Structure 1
Amino acid sequence: MSTLHIEDLHVTVEDKEILKGVNLTINKGETHAIMGPNGSGKSTLAYAVAGHPAYEITGGSIRIDDEDLTDAGPDDRALAGLFLAMQYPVEIPGVSTLNFLRTAMNTLNDEPIGVREFMDKVKVEMENLKMNPEFLERNVNEGFSGGEKKRFEILQMALVKPTFAILDETDSGLDVDALRVVSEGINAQRGPDLGVMLITHYTRILQYITPDNVHVMSAGRIVKSGSADLAAQLEAEGFEQFA
């Protein structure tokens, strides 16, 4: 069983320390929800683990099993099995979604995938996410609505099959119908081969995705951990108690 180890992680952004000693262990097959108020460090944790160069790790470590990824670049982390679904996916003009998806799969697979096999996989996953096939003719995220961008993130995850997925506020900007579809797409991929770090500010996505563990962040640290019941407590009492 693979394990993502985050140990005493300190992260600085523009000379300001945001994470101040985060400890978190996620086993493959588990879903961990990271909750907390705005500014608590949730998204910083996501981008630091994924290897964003603007997030400087000044202490601690990030490992998958015995492989130390603390100083690894984003590409090496992806090859090690990490995937990040961004809160604000960026547009990539001039790059078609079809080419983007096939390149991503070929980069992470030992052998290039055949065109027919690739198209079969894409069609199945797009149907699961209720995505129009015309998306494949468009450029990556260009002109996409917020809900379309989030579905495309989950489509990528379904195709590259990471070991650990970091989902940064995937519910942000989604209406009720889109939230349900995206949640169903995530649930379809959950299982013994995937560990999930689900970062969210609200509990509404947890009505569709039941986590194994819930962690509360405040001022750059995890200050409380518990079962899925902790989310219900947060919904009723808010985050002020952890300020």
Structure 2
Amino acid sequence: MAQCCSPKPAATTFLRHPPNSPRISTLFTLPAIPSSSTKFPSISLLSPCSRRRSFPVAAATAAVDSPPEISDHEDGKRHLLEVKDLTAVIAESQQKILNGVNLTVYEGEVHAIMGKNGSGKSTFAKVLVGHPDYEVTGGTVTFKGQSLLEMEPEERSLAGMFLSFQSPIEIPGVSNADFLNMAYNARQRKLGLPELGPIEFFSHVYSKLDLVNMKMDFLNRNVNEGFSGGERKRNEILQLAVLGADLAILDEIDSGLDVDALQDVAKAVNALLTPKNSVLMITHYQRLLEYIRPTYIHVMENGRIVKTGDISLALVLEKEGYKAISTA
């Protein structure tokens, strides 16, 4: 999920695939772009200096750096996200899908949510960002000390929450550079910080390209249009790197990635971790946890978290499956 801006307030947009295609709903904040808006210049036209520069791309490495060890919650450490007894239903059918989720994420932590298909993992992520397909029926959610459920989706995004979807969609007619520049400036305005014009923004985004092992020409391409699965996932992490979210929710960021792409994505996520931000990642496989080491692992079943542990819990799941901890 990314934020964007224009002279008018941002509007939240939910795109759905045609009825005959698999139903995937995607949220992002993207206002209408006026026809008179200034487009981000082509990379080749930025400046004579930029044309002469050499732009190295980091090569994939076999070893992926892990974030520093996080100690127990010392005095003064704030929680970013606190979820208490969260319940939710599918808006259209009123089918109950979340059955009392409890979760607390402190600054500097990495949390992984695992569970069988249909256990409520992706639904939980979408409810946190305010997806309209779901209706909250009970419980509370606070983000950075404020009630998250009282915020509109675009407000949650601008407040520092980021969601990377399983299947990022294409946005025809909008270049990556324009999209990222608008999203970055929307966040800057929210924080009361200076906005960047296209040329200045390029200097900011340039270093982020190396982080996710992407080439410059990705900036001139339309968002995800013609991208491979791996390129789409890298592009999601590029958005995260540019926006500098406080809480990154990564929904199966490892799906469809080969080993090299997974290592690049994991290395970028680890590089973005600081003592002040956190990651909540959803995955089916232990493989991702070998590259992004979680502080805690939570197992979800029937719309609630039924087990919490450290990395050893993933080893149990890998060996024995979810029957080892099932409450059924």
Same fold (TM over 0.5): yes
Note if contact 2:100-2:304 (Cα within 8 Å) is conserved in structure 1: yes
Corresponding position: 1:48 with 2:116: no
Counterparts of 1:121 and 1:129 in 2: how far apart (Å)?
Answer: 14
> Is residue 185 from structure 1 mapped to residue 262 from structure 2 by the alignment?
no
> 1 or 2 for the larger relative contact order (CA 8 Å, sep ≥6)?
1
Retained in 1: the 8 A contact 2:79–2:104? no
Per the alignment, residue 11 of structure 1 pairs with 88
1:164 matched to 2:247:
yes
Question: Hey, which of these two has a bigger chunk of helix by percent?
Answer: 1
Correspondence for 2:223 among 140, 155, 180: 140
Instruction: Give the gaps of 5 or more residues in structure 2.
Output: 1-77
5 Å-filtered alignment, 1:73-222, equals: 73-109=152-188, 110=192, 111-222=194-305
Query: What secondary structure is seen at the aligned counterpart in 2 of 1:70?
Result: helix
1:147, distance to aligned residue in structure 2 (A): 0.4
The letter for the 2-side match of 1:58 is T
State the match for 2:113 in structure 1: 34
Q: Report how many aligned residue pairs link the two structures.
A: 243
Q: Could you tell me how far 1:115 is from its partner in structure 2?
A: 3.3
CA drift of 1:114 comes to 3.7
Whole-Å Cα distance in 2 between the matches of residues 28 and 92 of structure 1? 33
Q: How much does 1:57 deviate?
A: 0.8
SS at match of 1:99: helix
TM-score by length of 1: 0.97
Using the TM superposition, give the Cα deviation of residue 231 of structure 1 relative to its aligned residue in structure 2, in angstroms.
1.0
Inter-partner Cα distance in structure 2 for 1:100 and 1:28: 28
Instruction: Give aligned-pair identity as a percent.
Output: 50
When structure 1 is superposed on structure 2, of 105-114 and 26-35 the one drifting more is 105-114
TM-score (ref. length: structure 2) = 0.72
Checking the alignment, whether the CA contact within 8 Å between 2:80 and 2:145 is kept in structure 1 is no
Instruction: Specify the SS of the correspondent of 2:249.
Output: strand
Following TM superposition, by how much is the alpha carbon of 1:15 offset from its aligned partner in structure 2, in angstroms? 1.4
**Pairwise CA distance, 1:65:** 3.5
Say which one has the larger Rg: 2
Q: How far 1:2 moved relative to its partner?
A: 4.2
SS of aligned partner of 2:149: coil
Aligned partner of 2:18 in structure 1 is none
Q: Where does residue 20 of structure 1 map in the other structure?
A: 99
What's the C-alpha RMSD, in Å, of the aligned pairs? 1.1
